[in-house]
Amino acid sequence: DAGITQSPRHKVTETGTPVTLRCHQTENHRYMYWYRQDPGHGLRLIHYSYGVKDTDKGEVSDGYSVSRSKTEDFLLTLESATSSQTSVYFCAIEQNGNTIYFGEGSWLTVV
Amino acid sequence: QKEVEQDPGPLSVPEGAIVSLNCTYSNSAFQYFMWYRQYSRKGPELLMYTYSSGNKEDGRFTAQVDKSSKYISLFIRDSQPSDSATYLCAMSQTYYNTDKLIFGTGTRLQVFP
């Protein structure tokens, strides 16, 4: 258990509405990540953070923004949700140098 | 062509069978290789981690890397119904660049009693 909590775990929202997913960690890890997982595409990195207020884009960052104002919290925001953002979102932290550990996931459906 | 290819399965085997799960990759610079196990509606959990070529064993699990063929394998001996899950391979070129970790799409394994 890497001490990661994601919220909400399940959400249904309407197209065009903003959505924020929260990742909370309890072990003071510097690096945090947001991935999405889709059939046929596997896990793809959206954004990551290497410290408070330090973030960078991943492979599929369009339509997403992130913020990290405290070490323990990493927020993923969909400014205006689209149906293509229906997915499972996983938060992850880096541990032991170069291995990452995942949270339990947040299931998002955009209707 | 994807950098990492994995047969999606499902792979269905009887309890007690030896299972072989495989990934091929195209980037010869990959040096760090991982296997994750993901149960249905759960997050992936790290199962095995290897560096460069060779074998690594942990209980019923053996990870094998063949860099000359750009091929990695995960063997599960005496498979159990509790091994039923999706297995994801992942790999990277350098030690610290976890933002550059590339995942396979996963192979679904079903072990029936």
Q: Decide if pLDDT at B44 tops 90.
A: yes
Specify the pLDDT at position A99: 81
Closest CA to B107 of B2, B30, B1, B12: B12
pLDDT tens digits, A16-57: 999 999 999 998 999 999 999 998 888 999 999 999 999 999
Residue of B nearest to A10 (CA): B41
Q: What is the mean pLDDT of residues B12-36?
A: 95
Closest residue in B to A4 (Cα–Cα):
B43
Distance CA(B111)–CA(B82), nearest Å, equals 8
- Judge whether A104 and A91 are in contact, CB under 8 Å: no
Find which of B25, B89, B98 to mutate to test the A interface (most A CBs within 10 Å of its CB).
B98
Section B78-95 average pLDDT: 93
A45 contacts on B by Cβ (under 8 Å)? 99, 101
Mean pLDDT value across residues B79-88: 97
Tell how many helices (H) and how many strands (E) occur in chain A.
Answer: 0, 11
DSSP A26: S
